[in-house]
Chains A and B, each alone.
Chain A
Amino acid sequence: MTRELMLTLEPIDEAAWLARRAMSLDMGAAVYFAGMVRATEKGGAIAAIDYEAFERMARHQIELLFKQVEERWPVQSVRLAHRLGRVAAGETALWVEVIAPHRREAFAACQFLIDEMKRVTPIWKTPLAQ
């Protein structure tokens, strides 16, 4: 399974990530998820979210999740990008892609990766009013 992980202060260029997709002819499913910052948080308007990470540990924990994905599903590729720092409302904060032979395992692995990433990756957010 190939893997790519990026934690970045820069905007996630979704078009560039999609253009780099590598997928063999025996793979039938590419599932990707893009999570954007909403302009409201707990009922109030916000301009952005500031993401803070314990970056070394975040990388380590996400790599452990990639390993679990590889053990559980016949996935060919996983790619994950997460913004850090100030992310304005409307911008992509998280981008995840899974490529697998069939949709069932691609969806399952993608859902697992996002759910577990939120649970174990040391990233915290602070809503910013302006």
Chain B
Amino acid sequence: MLAAVQIRVCFFSRARDLAGCAAAVESMPPGSSVKELLERLFRRFPRLAELEKSLRVAVGLDYQSGDCLLRDGDEVSILPPMQGG
């Protein structure tokens, strides 16, 4: 049986407020996707669901869609809508 992958999740701005923490670690089955990670995060941090329709996800420094497969050690960022400028 393949070992679980460890994913470090970082929450920014409103996502951090809703999660109640700036970072968390999730242990996911091998082959898990961003979508599956999000489903797990919404269960663990129910208030995050407020951002379900608007949040964006980055793996490392690049945006990724829900079907992106996660690798052990990936850093995933949960990003509410941007407001720069």
Q: Give the residues in chain A near B80, CB-CB below 8 Å.
A: 124
B-side interface size class? 10 to 19
* Shortest beta-carbon distance from B50 to chain A in Å: 15
Q: Give the residues in chain B near A120, CB-CB below 8 Å.
A: 63, 82
Task: Indicate if B83 sits at the interface (CB-CB under 8 A).
Answer: yes
Q: Contact between A56 and B12 (Cβ–Cβ < 8 Å)?
A: no
Task: Indicate if A119 sits at the interface (CB-CB under 8 A).
Answer: yes
Q: Contact between A52 and B13 (Cβ–Cβ < 8 Å)?
A: yes
Return the chain B residue nearest A7 by Cβ.
B84
Q: Give the residues in chain B near A124, CB-CB below 8 Å.
A: 12-14, 80, 82-84
Q: Contact between B84 and A54 (Cβ–Cβ < 8 Å)?
A: no
Interface string of B1-17 (1 = CB under 8 A from A): 00000000010111000
Interface string of A50-70 (1 = CB under 8 A from B): 011110111011000000000
Q: Contact between A121 and B84 (Cβ–Cβ < 8 Å)?
A: yes
Report the Cα distance A12→B10, complex, angstroms. Answer: 29
Report the Cα distance A117→B85, complex, angstroms. Answer: 8
* Shortest beta-carbon distance from A57 to chain B in Å: 5
Task: Indicate if B58 sits at the interface (CB-CB under 8 A).
Answer: yes
Q: Give the residues in chain A near B58, CB-CB below 8 Å.
A: 54, 57, 122
Q: Could you list which residues of chain B lie within 8 angstroms of chain A, going by C-beta atoms?
A: 10, 12-14, 58, 61-63, 77, 79-80, 82-85
Give me 21 A-to-B residue pairs in the complex whose CB atoms sit less than 8 angstroms apart, sorted by A's number.
A51-B84, A54-B10, A54-B12, A54-B79, A57-B61, A57-B77, A58-B84, A82-B84, A93-B85, A94-B84, A117-B85, A118-B83, A120-B63, A120-B82, A121-B82, A122-B12, A122-B82, A123-B82, A124-B12, A124-B83, A124-B84
Q: Could you list which residues of chain A lie within 8 angstroms of chain B, going by C-beta atoms?
A: 35, 51-54, 56-58, 60-61, 82, 93-94, 114, 117-126
